[in-house]
Amino acid sequence: MRDLYDVLGVARAASQNELKQAYRKLARAHHPDTNPDDPKAEERFKEISAAYDTLSDVEKRKAYDQFGASGGTSAQGFDPNDFRDFAQERGFDISDLFGDLFGGGRRRTGGSRGRPRTRRGVDLETRVTLSFDDALRGARVTVPVAKDGPCGDCAGTGAAPGTSRSACPDCGGSGERQVNQGFFATSEPCRRCRGKGIVIETPCAACAGAGQARRTKRYTVKIPAGISDGARIRVRGKGLDGEHGGAAGDLWVVVQVLPSERFVRRGLDIIVDVPITFPEAALGAEIDVPTPLGERVRVKVPAGSADGKLLRIRGRGAPAQSGDDGALLVRLKLLVPQGLSTQQTEALERFAALDGASDPRAELFG
Q: How many residues at the interface with Zn ion, by CB under 5 A?
A: 12
Cα-flanking dihedrals φ and ψ of residue 229, to 5°?
-60, 130
Give the total residue count for the chain. 366
159 binds Zn ion (CB under 5 A): no
Tell me which of 151, 240, 251, 257 binds Zn ion, using CB under 5 A. 151
139 binds Zn ion (CB under 5 A): no
- Other CB atoms within a 10 A radius of the CB of residue 314 amount to 10
The stretch near Zn ion (CB under 5 A) out of 162-170, 252-260, 266-274, 284-292 is 162-170
* Measured distance CA(306)–CA(276) in Å, rounded: 10
Give the x-and-dash track for 164-183 against Zn ion (CB under 5 A).
Answer: ----x-xx------------
Cβ nearer to Zn ion, comparing 30 with 265: 30
Cβ nearer to Zn ion, comparing 97 with 204: 204
Within 13 A of 24's CA, how many CA atoms are on the CB side? Answer: 12
Cβ nearer to Zn ion, comparing 72 with 203: 203
Shortest reach from residue 62's CB to Zn ion, in Å = 18
Please report, as a single letter, which amino acid is at residue 199. V
Contact positions with Zn ion (CB under 5 A) in 293-352: none
Shortest reach from residue 163's CB to Zn ion, in Å = 11
* Measured distance CA(346)–CA(278) in Å, rounded: 16
Shortest reach from residue 199's CB to Zn ion, in Å = 7
Query: Using alpha carbons only, what angle is made at residue 84 by residues 196 and 119, rounded to the nearest 5 degrees?
Result: 75
Cβ nearer to Zn ion, comparing 3 with 170: 170
Give the x-and-dash track for 203-232 against Zn ion (CB under 5 A).
Answer: -x-xx-------------------------
Cβ nearer to Zn ion, comparing 23 with 263: 23
- Which residues, in sequence order, are CB contacts of 259 under 8 Å at separation 6+? 132
Cβ nearer to Zn ion, comparing 48 with 171: 171
For helices 16-30 and 39-55, what crossing angle results, to 10°? 170
Cβ nearer to Zn ion, comparing 26 with 204: 204
Shortest reach from residue 176's CB to Zn ion, in Å = 8
* Measured distance CA(124)–CA(147) in Å, rounded: 9
The stretch near Zn ion (CB under 5 A) out of 37-45, 53-61, 119-127, 145-153 is 145-153
The stretch near Zn ion (CB under 5 A) out of 39-47, 60-68, 108-116, 146-154 is 146-154
The stretch near Zn ion (CB under 5 A) out of 190-198, 273-281, 297-305, 354-362 is 190-198
Shortest reach from residue 53's CB to Zn ion, in Å = 13
Cα-flanking dihedrals φ and ψ of residue 89, to 5°?
-65, -25
Cβ nearer to Zn ion, comparing 44 with 165: 165
Of residues 204, 201, 226, 189, the one with CA closest to residue 319: 226
Alpha helices in the chain (DSSP H): 4-8, 16-30, 39-55, 58-63, 80-89, 132-137, 278-283, 342-355
Contact positions with Zn ion (CB under 5 A) in 10-49: none
- Which residues, in sequence order, are CB contacts of 3 under 8 Å at separation 6+? 69, 77, 78
Tell me which of 10, 50, 94, 193 binds Zn ion, using CB under 5 A. 193
Query: Using alpha carbons only, what angle is made at residue 306 by residues 305 and 308, rounded to the nearest 5 degrees?
Result: 115
148 binds Zn ion (CB under 5 A): no
The stretch near Zn ion (CB under 5 A) out of 24-32, 33-41, 185-193, 247-255 is 185-193
List b or e across 336-362, with b for residues whose CB sees 16 or more CB atoms inside 10 angstroms: eeeeeeeeeeeeeeeeeeeeeeeeeee
Cα-flanking dihedrals φ and ψ of residue 240, to 5°?
-75, 155
Cβ nearer to Zn ion, comparing 176 with 280: 176
- Other CB atoms within a 10 A radius of the CB of residue 74 amount to 10
Shortest reach from residue 148's CB to Zn ion, in Å = 12
Q: Give the interface with Zn ion as residue ranges (CB under 5 A).
A: 151, 153-154, 168, 170-171, 190, 192-193, 204, 206-207
